[in-house]
Amino acid sequence: MFKWDPCGLVCVAMIYFLIAYADYVILIWMLLPTFGHSIWTVIHGFVFNSLLITTLIAHTRAMTSDPGVVPISQSKVQKPPHHHNDEFSSDEDEESDEEAAFRRDHFNRPSATEWTMCTRCDSLRPPRAHHCRVCKRCIRKMDHHCPWVNNCVGEYNQKWFLQFIFYVGASSVYSLFILCLCWVYHDAYGTTGLKGPLGENIYHAKVIHSVMLAMESALFGLFVLAVSCDQLGAIFTDETAIEACQRRGRNYLSSSRRPRNSKVAMMKQVCGPGPKLLWLVPCATPQKSQPRYLRTHQQLAHFDV
């Protein structure tokens, strides 16, 4: 799923460089000159590097995982006919509560009942799938294409994207905390002090590195805070950014038709039904079973990836 998009590759390279630079400043210019080889250097260095490693793992998963690419159909198949409620009556006893809730919440939307043929990538799109001009494919429940992960954020990799922005925010906050802590305990006669053995140039270099890291942490912290609010709002309302734009443009979704599931239930649809602690761990998400009415539609067409 790796994309050779120039903008995305530049953004990914910037992320790797900024993470390496933050680790360099924290260890070389902050912790070691302030605390030396004490236990505090080990503790703060371990915590900060753990956050950075987890950030890289979540970023890699979000960048290389399938966001929900719709397979390309072998031939242009007409849109499956609309199924009436009486067609599902024979299976109501076997339908689970989750499937019934999904059908009740989503099939109230006009766009959620329509299977369409994409004229750009020649794929039969399921409900709520959209075409990405960068990836040149249709993505299931596509939210947006993010250049920072060089991939689309869709149904299957949204968890990794949430983890990535969460750990970027946590790393930014912790780096600001270490900066403040090290300047509080700054020794003017130390190795990086103004009156230290290495002179004023080292002190000025420490000041410059501190300012640069503080700006980096503040900017990325505010950025991921804004993105987190958008992502959580989209999850809790079960409405992607593209669907929100369509709703404002077409005005087809009223407030009475919004899903009534709890916020925890909506988060489970994205992060998995396991323990909530695993929501923060970049591990594999359990594969959720597809609702029966989606499987019925997919049986009407044959795909060739």
Q: How far apart are CA 262 and CA 245, in angstroms?
A: 24
How many Cβ atoms from other residues are within 10 Å of residue 303's Cβ? 13
Which alpha helices (DSSP H) does the chain contain, by range? 6-24, 32-35, 39-64, 97-106, 158-184, 200-237, 241-250, 263-271, 292-298
Catalytic residues: 146
Q: 53-57: long-range contacts (C-beta < 8 A, 24 or more apart)?
A: 54/163, 54/167, 54/282, 55/19, 55/164, 55/167, 55/168, 55/171, 56/16, 56/19, 57/282
Q: How far apart are CA 187 and CA 183, in angstroms?
A: 8
Strand, coil or helix: what is 209? helix
